[in-house]
């Protein structure tokens, strides 16, 4: 969790429950305004995708047939 995210959660946690709900709705609207169809990726997701591509390029993959599905 980033430092600013921690600060935000700490501040929201100080509010009474009804105001926490209001803060949640505000954050939700901000996220929807930024990415209305939830197609943008976060920096953490981008890093995971890059890592997956690199593993695939190196051949660090497992065939589905090799997995034991019990």
Query: For each of the chain's 70 residues, which pLDDT tens digit applies?
Result: 889 999 999 999 999 999 999 999 999 999 999 898 888 888 899 999 999 999 999 988 888 888 877 6
Question: Any idea where the domains of the chain sit in the sequence?
Answer: 3-59
Instruction: DSSP letter for 23, please.
Output: H
Predicted TM-score (pTM) of this structure: 0.55
CA-to-CA separations, 44 to 22, 26, 30, 51, 65, in angstroms, rounded = 27, 23, 19, 11, 30
Decide: helix, strand or coil at residue 47. Answer: helix
Chain-centroid distance of CA 70 in Å reads 31
């Amino acid at each position: 969790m980033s430092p600013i995210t921690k600060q935000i959660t700490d501040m929201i946690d100080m509010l009474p429950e009804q105001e926490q709900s209001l803060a949640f709705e505000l954050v939700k609207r901000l996220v929807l305004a930024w990415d209305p169809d939830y197609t943008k990726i976060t920096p953490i997701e981008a890093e995971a995708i890059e890592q997956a591509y690199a593993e695939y390029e190196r051949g660090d993959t497992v065939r589905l047939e090799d997995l034991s599905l019990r």
